[in-house]
Amino acid sequence: MYIIYKFFTFIIYPFLIIYLNIRVRKKKECPIRFKEKLGFSKYHNIENTIWFHASSLGEIKSILPFIKHYGEGKKNNILITTVTLSSSAFFDEEIKSNNIFHQFAPLDSPIIIKKFLKKWKPKLSIFVESELWPNMITETSKNSKVILLNARISKKSFIKWKFFKKTFSKLMNKFSIILCQNLETFNYLKYFSLKNMSYIGNIKLIDSEKKIPNYITFSEKFNSWSAMSIHFEEIDIIIETHKKINKEKDFTTFLIPRHLDKLDLILQKIKNHNIKVQRISKNSEVKKFNGIILIDKFGIADDIFNISKVVFMGGSFIDHGGQNPIEPIKYGCHILHGKYIYNFTEIYELLNQNNLSKIILNQNELVKEILKLSMDNKKVKINSLHNSLGKKIFIETQKILDQLI
């Protein structure tokens, strides 16, 4: 199976520049840096490098404690590769330094990967969560030790890989060690008879520090709730929830879409209901506003969680599996979610057991719970379990990484 995949990626190599140019025109790639995905780089003679390969903004935030730890004292150079424009913008604003570099991740072509590795020569390569690109893993394992950090395999992925058991087992054995974020992933991987595994816990529990609000300004207090990481299929539910709540009480809804590629359609849906809407990228000052604040900019949700008490996590009213609730938990928010949370089963179970979240089965329950929680002027006290677990996960993970550097 891998031989077929490798042959295919060789064949399509000449067409990748065309593919990227099309994405540039659609504003899905950086018009200046898109060639980094072909293995090119403006940096030269960078040595002693630890490479972290993540996918998007959530993953890059999750590895911040490790970037800070291994980048301190400038003993190591740190390379971070990601796929999305939002993660690049976050890097420039929050992480960039003299010994920490960002590149857009190379496409999974053997020619491109070899060019990339020849350039950077990483001494340790760390892939985050579910970044399982066959050529990248295979070629990198020939040049350095490779770790899969915070590994997550969904039920759907497990069912898919079962059909290619031999290929998947061979690929996963390229890793020096696989650190699983939950028992579900650990048990799925057992099926493939892998021995290079360990269950550590979710590294997103490590970073418990609040971010000081620095983008949105709030000129007055008002009732509000947040709809976080909302998928397009859930937009109508959020709009109807906003309308029903405002029949009972004046409320502002912060709508934070999971993806920003359908902003025009989302705006049109809101306007069709004659609801006032404010785009945060156009006006970052929020006053009392009984409409919908559309968060059309990545990386600023912390500002909202700092003042909002109630957060509904998206991807859970539809069969997607839910989004990670750890970020708003840091701010003591009440977490509400639907029944589809299988992407983060253990985290939600932990939160439910400690009364930090609640399952909502339908829209009427969501309206009722938001109104009920708005009567309570206090935020949730952040459970010490969050901090103690995070500290333990960091220490155990750091020990393993130190042995491989």
Residue 201 lies in a domain: yes
Here the CATH number for the domain that contains residue 228 is 3.40.50.2000
Q: Is 234 in the same domain as 272? A: yes
Whether 170 shows a pLDDT value over 80: the answer reads: yes
Structural domain harbouring 82 = 2-208+391-404
> Are residues 280 and 321 located together in one domain of the fold?
yes
Cα within 13 Å of Cα(242), Cβ side: 27
Q: Let me know: does 242 contact 292? Beta carbons within 8 Å.
A: yes
Could you tell me if residue 360 is inside a domain? Answer: yes
Q: Give the chain's mean pLDDT.
A: 88
Residues 275 and 188 in one domain: no
| DSSP conformation class of 13 | G
> Tens digits of per-residue pLDDT, 350-383?
888 778 899 999 999 999 999 998 876 555 555 5
173: confidence class by pLDDT, cuts 50, 70, 90 = very high
Residues 104 and 194 placed together within one structural domain of the fold? yes
Same domain, 265 and 183: no
Q: What pLDDT is attached to residue 345?
A: 83
**Same domain (yes/no): 245, 177:** no
Q: Is 274 left (phi over 0), alpha (psi -120 to 50) or beta?
A: left
The reply to whether 145 falls in a domain is yes
Rounded to whole angstroms, what are the CA distances from 90 to 56, 297, 299, 319, 390?
Answer: 10, 11, 7, 29, 23
- Residue 211: which pLDDT band, with cuts at 50, 70 and 90? low
Give the three-state DSSP class for 204. helix
| Domain CATH code at residue 106 | 3.40.50.11720
Quote the CA–CA distance of 389 and 67 in Å, as a whole number: 19
Instruction: Give this prediction's pTM.
Output: 0.77
Based on the domain organization, do 232 and 181 belong to the same domain? no
User: Is there a domain that residue 330 lies in?
Assistant: yes
Q: 308: closest CA among 251, 349, 361? A: 251
* 88 and 179, same domain (yes or no): yes
Closest CA to 107 of 218, 166, 29: 29
Domain match, 167 and 277 both: no
The phi and psi torsions of 198 (rounded to 5 degrees) equal -150, 140
pLDDT of residue 213: 59
Please tell me whether residues 135 and 228 are part of one structural domain: no
Does one domain contain both 359 and 314? yes
386 is a domain residue: no
**Cα–Cα distance, 29 to 270 (Å, whole number):** 28
In this structure, the answer to whether residues 225 and 202 fall within a common structural domain is: no
pLDDT digits 0-9 by tens, 10-47: 899 999 999 999 999 988 899 999 999 999 988 877 88
* pLDDT classification of 386: cutoffs 50, 70, 90: low
pLDDT at 302: 85
Considering only residues 229 and 299, tell me which one the structure prediction assigns the higher pLDDT.
229
200 inside domain: yes
Number of domains the chain contains: 2
pLDDT single digits (tens) 72-125: 877 889 999 999 888 888 888 888 888 999 999 999 999 999 999 999 999 999
More confident residue, 382 or 222: 222
